[in-house]
Structure 1
Amino acid sequence: MPDSLFPAASLPVLQGWQAPGALDLHGAFQRAEGWALARIEAFPDPARLKARLHEMSVSLRGGTRLGLDLRGLRDGADHVMAAAREAGVAFLLHTAELPPSLSLLKQANLPRIVAVQDALEAQAAQAGGASALLADALLVRSLGALHLPVLATAEDEAAARRAMEAGALGLQPRSPALLEAEALASFRSRLDGGLGTADQELLRRGPVPLPRLRIRNLDLTYPIFQGGMGIGVSWDRLAGAVAREGCVGLVSAIGTGYHGSATSPQRLGRPDGTEALNPPRTLEGIVRLARERAGGRGAVGVNILCAIEGYEAAVRASVAGGAQLIVSGAGLPLALPDYVGDADVALVPIVSSARALGVICKHWQRRHGRLPDAVVLEGPESGGHQGFSAEACAEAEHTLENLLPAVLAERDKWGAFPVIVAGGVWDRADIERFLAMGAGGVQMGTRFIGTFECDAAPTFKDTILKARAEDIGLMKSPVGMPARGVRTALQARIEAGTAPQVRCVSHCLQPCQNGKGALAAGYCIADRLADAYRGDLENGLFFTGSNGARLRELLSVHDLIEELTQDPGLQRRGA
């Protein structure tokens, strides 16, 4: 890497979080002689990318220390390289393993920092011409033999100190709190000198914090649920990563026979029967893995459709695996407390109306002497199956905003448990709007598809990331209710009667009646969702919410939660 990127007599500092609110963090890092880092979309539009980088270059008076974070880039390397050269970008940051479509990046006449997760990736990066490495602080010592500059990512002062002692040339602090470390005192002084008093405070504290969320015995840092998405879109990797950041991560219970740990008997390439499709022991293991990934933070729960075959077994397996809450919808989960027994697990039904909530509360209180610990109100903008007819999904009375007051009023008749809103929630502004209306938190599914940790195949993520608004809509389903997803060539084949043959090997959902619903709809939903999870673009069914067309970036769960909460570096997470 050219020496010009390293300020003389100064520790190189790489931007490690995005700006809260309106703070110009890129400019602040530049003025403090640090390295600013701009994240690039998965499939960038050339004109928009060029305009954005030009604007940044002008505002920064040249991109002498502006880098591009390409870790979420999926295609368009040639456009990125052209725009970067024109804007005077100083360096590129990307992962060790590049998709073939991005191999052009290795030919870029720009320094390349390669983010690595282990020594083997570091060796491959060196062989591929990397200018420097970005690695976790604990990995630095093992990379010394490669004789490449190493920038260490660190979340606390102890990790930063270990990295510097091990030979790290610079740091990427993952939290503004780390700027208080002695090694970064000079940089912090320069950073503060380039910021006004209000911006200094914003950097330290972030904007007005979101409230914590308390559900039964759980005290969560942020009021955010990651929605359960099956088959295989949210399993241990995603749910564990979300919980680790102080939120609720939900494992999907449907189709766990496709998980890599499953040993289900197969027929015609599919799990043979209900227990093979939803093996309880596999679900139990997935929940345990998610709890391990969470590292004691947040909460790991399981989303279980009332309509699945083997519902009771899935509930009991979730409890055995250590699920801290169970979210259950697609029908009224009237028997859920029976199956949980006296286990200390929060029970969270999903409803689409105040009437449904009233029925659940009345039944649970009379039969089980308990009430929901929270309730998810799901509106008609969510991905997957809807709790409304296709016509009702378009009616103004069924918008989430119009449904919420009645559900809150019904809740007030029974207690003070939180109402979590779902379906169409996109950003911090949406979160604040629903909290102001009385919601206790939000559930988001679609946004978490665009994360590295999402368990689905890259093709699944790419399909959503490429989708336009006109590509996403309602479609018929074997269960009789409409479902929302991306209309691909599969839908045309279903309508033409040329979709893959319905064979009903796995017996997934009760309303399908062992394949009768699938024959009427023209496809098997379990098979097509499994194909999507595996990355089969031709035969897969790709569910997403109405906001799927707004999904443009592929990023880490940490960065997404940081954006949603606007808590820089997720400083509250450890509080």
Structure 2
Amino acid sequence: MIQIQDKYLDIPLIQGGMGVGVSLSSLAGHVAMCGGMGVISAAHPGYLYEGFRQNPIATNCQAIKDHIKRAKEIAQGHGLIGVNIMVAGQGYEDLVKASVDGGCDAIISGAGLPLDLPKYAKGKTLLAPIVSSGKAARLIARVWEKRYQYTPDFVVIEGSEAGGHLGFKKEDLLNGTCQTLSEILADVKKELKPFEEKFKKMIPIFVAGGIDSGKKIAQFIHLGATGVQIATPFIATYECDASQAFKDAVIQACDEDIEIVKSPTGFPGRAIVNEFVKKTRMTGNITMKNCLHCMIPCTPEDTPYCISEALIQSVKGNVENGLVFVGTQAAKITKMKHVNELIQEYMNEMEEYL
């Protein structure tokens, strides 16, 4: 049993949020039903809703509420349901408030520093920043303490092997000079200790990036982590919300297909190299037909491509004309599994090494 402030998990596992539309209510609900934390991505959960193109923020807010409700129905009282919200996205405050109103158990926030997250949700749900260094953890904790007399309820560390947007410099990722996940864990634990003492509460830490076995889960627990966050392996599950074509692209990927790509957010990202990625390299910028005004750092005039459209296309099944974010371990995924089957494999192997 894992305690996170006043809430509990049966297993030390958080399913990482994956957008657009990869982790919605089906995946999150089934992970929670197994006793973990299922996480809904707030990156355009309403992409299939009527009115999405006209008013994306309002539509996404409604979709978040709908998916939280459905995920909890699937979970049948087990586990927890979280929402992953990107700081770099437009409508951040609205999405946070919609998640709280929808009854989520936790908000996990990254792709930027969530310095004002407690302003919108303090005391209403568990709040967790995503960090990639001890320095970032210290900065967020200091700002939360000074501005809001609050400290993180838990923290997620994303290492350099994670999928999607990464909190590292591109050259460090390419050169392999990033801190290891175990090194970052030690730094973050050190930086958070004074805040644990001051606020008289333990701050659980979950590590993410390249974790694809129960043995690795056990290793990080031995190093002082509370648990892990796992995302990419859940793509190849029957309950994942993405199209089968999207899942097949992950299953068929090999190591040579996975590279660091350019993202309009300003963050480097890890994805499968397909026709879309090759096209962005050859043409530079891909003309945008419509703009959803979804990313704060992005402007239609100079963006390399519309990341929202790229993710929407791939999750709907038009994989070669879209973006498929994955972690480094995607090449090891070779077949479809059910969520409960995958989690049971992890937990059984973890027990062998604890």
User: Which bin holds the TM-score, normalised by the shorter protein?
Assistant: over 0.9
2:309 aligns to what? 527
Amino acid at match of 2:149: G
- Contact 1:511–1:517 (CA<8 Å) still a contact in 2? no
RMSD: 1.8
- Contact 2:145–2:151 (CA<8 Å) still a contact in 1? yes
2:168 aligns to what? 388
> Residue 489 of structure 1: CA displacement?
1.2
Amino acid at match of 1:479: T
Amino acid at match of 1:548: A
Q: Secondary structure at the match of 1:304?
A: strand
1:99 aligns to what? none
Q: Secondary structure at the match of 2:157?
A: strand
Matches of residues 474-489 of structure 1 in structure 2 within 5 Å?
474-489=260-275
- Contact 1:503–1:524 (CA<8 Å) still a contact in 2? no
Amino acid at match of 2:218: E
Amino acid at match of 1:241: H
> Residue 517 of structure 1: CA displacement?
4.7
Q: Which runs of 4+ in 1 moved over 6 A?
A: none
1:221 aligns to what? 10
CA distance in 2, matches of 1:293, 1:500: 40
Amino acid at match of 1:374: F
> Residue 448 of structure 1: CA displacement?
0.4
The one of the two structures with greater contact order (alpha-carbon pairs below 8 A, sep at least 6) is 2
Q: What is the aligned counterpart of 1:253 among 23, 38, 42?
A: 42
1:424 aligns to what? 210
The runs of 5 or more residues in structure 2 that have no matched partner are 197-201
CA distance in 1, matches of 2:192, 2:170: 27
- Contact 1:396–1:402 (CA<8 Å) still a contact in 2? no
Q: Secondary structure at the match of 2:321?
A: coil
Give TM-score, length-normalised by structure 2: 0.93
- Contact 1:264–1:279 (CA<8 Å) still a contact in 2? no
Question: Radius of gyration: which is bigger?
Answer: 1
1:240 aligns to what? 29
Q: What is the aligned counterpart of 2:186 among 378, 382, 405?
A: 405
> Residue 342 of structure 1: CA displacement?
3.5
Deviations 1:126-150 (A, max 9, x none): xxxxxxxxxxxxxxxxxxxxxxxxx
- Contact 1:272–1:505 (CA<8 Å) still a contact in 2? no
Matches of residues 298-337 of structure 1 in structure 2 within 5 Å?
298-337=79-118
Amino acid at match of 2:336: L
2:339 aligns to what? 557
Task: State yes or no: 1:264 paired with 2:51.
Answer: yes
1:515 aligns to what? 300
Question: Quick one: structure 1 residues 500 and 457, their matched pair in 2 at CA, closer, same or farther if it must change by over 3 Å?
Answer: farther
Give TM-score, length-normalised by structure 1: 0.58
> Residue 397 of structure 1: CA displacement?
4.5
> Residue 264 of structure 1: CA displacement?
1.6
2:228 aligns to what? 442
Amino acid at match of 2:121: V
Q: Secondary structure at the match of 1:455?
A: coil
1:3 aligns to what? none
The runs of 5 or more residues in structure 1 that have no matched partner are 1-211, 266-270, 571-575
- Contact 1:528–1:539 (CA<8 Å) still a contact in 2? yes
Task: State yes or no: 1:362 paired with 2:137.
Answer: no
- Contact 1:235–1:286 (CA<8 Å) still a contact in 2? yes
Deviations 1:228-266 (A, max 9, x none): 00000000000000000000000000112214xx2225x
Task: State yes or no: 1:468 paired with 2:231.
Answer: no
> Residue 491 of structure 1: CA displacement?
1.6
- Contact 1:239–1:290 (CA<8 Å) still a contact in 2? yes
> Residue 524 of structure 1: CA displacement?
1.0
Amino acid at match of 1:525: I
CA distance in 2, matches of 1:252, 1:501: 26
